[in-house]
Amino acid sequence: MDGPIGMFDSGFGGLTVARAAIDLLPAEDLVYIGDTGRYPYGSKPLGDVRGFARELAHSLVDDYGAKVIVVACNTATAAGLDDLRAELGVPVIDVIRPGVSALVQTTTTGRVGVIGTVGTVSSGAYVHAIAATGAPVILTSAACPGFVEFVERGQTVGDEVTVLAERLLAPIRDADVDALLLGCTHYPFLARTIGDVMGNGVTLVSSADETAFSLKQTLGDLGLLRAVDRRGHRRFVSSGDIDLFRELGCQLLGPELDRTESWPPPR
């Protein structure tokens, strides 16, 4: 009950999930690792990403005492969720199933879209997750290489982002969807541009809030929720440049990200 929530992503993207978790569970402690030293995950072989995910998740449990792991990265979920669930002695929450459940509840026409990294889309993880819901929807997916790099540079709006978005989102627009799932945790930072390109008739769905609800439910079911009369302690850790992680991270997440530490931790 006393350990922190352990959360990781390749970089800044998982901060969208961290924001939702902090807001929903303000009493909980949190340790977030951004693997900026090895980002991006989306263009790497899934076997490599699986190795990174295992290393980070085991470190969150062994080095930081995490009581639960949130894989705040779709690519790492697609690559390694089953291994993590089999290996770790703590519950593991992912972003794909909660995102899909929000998507199928949002659509009214049954024509839905998912965008993600090359690794996530080519893994077929979303096709399987949507099929598992049994919802009668028609899915169109598109990989969006380049989106993550814009976010990691802190460039979330502007002509270059718009031009790339218009090109990559064309197949989704042509499919006439009414709901689009942002199947990469970096993409909510580009929501302004993605929303403008898709137009008013398309609802953008982020997995962040739904993942936080799933986290709260799991902790509650297992009797692992903290009493609410405290403010959680949050630690932000990066495998890359920790000064850059603090500067850009603070702009993206908010004032909670005022200190950063290096990963791996000194042993």
Backbone angles phi, psi at 184, to 5 degrees: -145, 130
**Host H or E run for residue 32:** strand 30-34
DSSP 184-199: STTGGGGHHHHHHHH-
73 tagged catalytic: yes
Interface pattern 66-105 for ligand DGL (x via CB under 6 A): -------xxx------------------------------
Residue type, 141: S
> Of 36, 107, 117, 214, which one interacts with ligand DGL (CB under 6 A)?
117
- Name the residue nearer to ligand DGL (CB basis): 12 or 64: 12
Instruction: Pick out residues in 7-36 that bind ligand DGL (CB under 6 A).
Output: 9-11, 13
- Shortest approach of ligand DGL to residue 95 CB, angstroms? 7
- Return the SS3 of 91: coil
Instruction: Pick out residues in 130-159 that bind ligand DGL (CB under 6 A).
Output: 148
Catalytic residue among 7, 69, 73, 179: 73
Interacting span for ligand DGL (CB under 6 A) from 5-13, 56-64, 130-138, 238-246: 5-13
- Shortest approach of ligand DGL to residue 267 CB, angstroms? 26
- The answer to whether 236 contacts ligand DGL (rule: CB under 6 A) is no
How far apart, in Å, are the Cα atoms of 7 and each of 15, 53, 68, 204? Answer: 9, 11, 8, 24
Scan for tokens 């929000």, then name that residue.
102
> Of 8, 32, 41, 150, which one interacts with ligand DGL (CB under 6 A)?
41
- Shortest approach of ligand DGL to residue 266 CB, angstroms? 26
250 tagged catalytic: no
Distance CA 103, CA 106 (A): 5
Q: Residue 192 burial (CB < 10 Å; 0-12/13-18/19+)?
A: middle
| Token pair for 73 | 């990265």
Number of Cβ within 10 Å of residue 163's Cβ equals 12
- The answer to whether 121 contacts ligand DGL (rule: CB under 6 A) is no
Catalytic residue among 184, 190, 219, 257: 184
Interacting span for ligand DGL (CB under 6 A) from 4-12, 51-59, 157-165, 249-257: 4-12
How far apart, in Å, are the Cα atoms of 30 and each of 5, 56, 61? Answer: 5, 14, 12
> Of 36, 59, 120, 203, which one interacts with ligand DGL (CB under 6 A)?
120
Number of Cβ within 10 Å of residue 106's Cβ equals 15
Distance CA 38, CA 44 (A): 10
- Shortest approach of ligand DGL to residue 97 CB, angstroms? 14
- Shortest approach of ligand DGL to residue 182 CB, angstroms? 9
List active site positions. 73, 184
- Report the interface residues with ligand DGL, using CB under 6 A: 9-11, 13, 39-42, 73-75, 117, 120, 148, 184-186
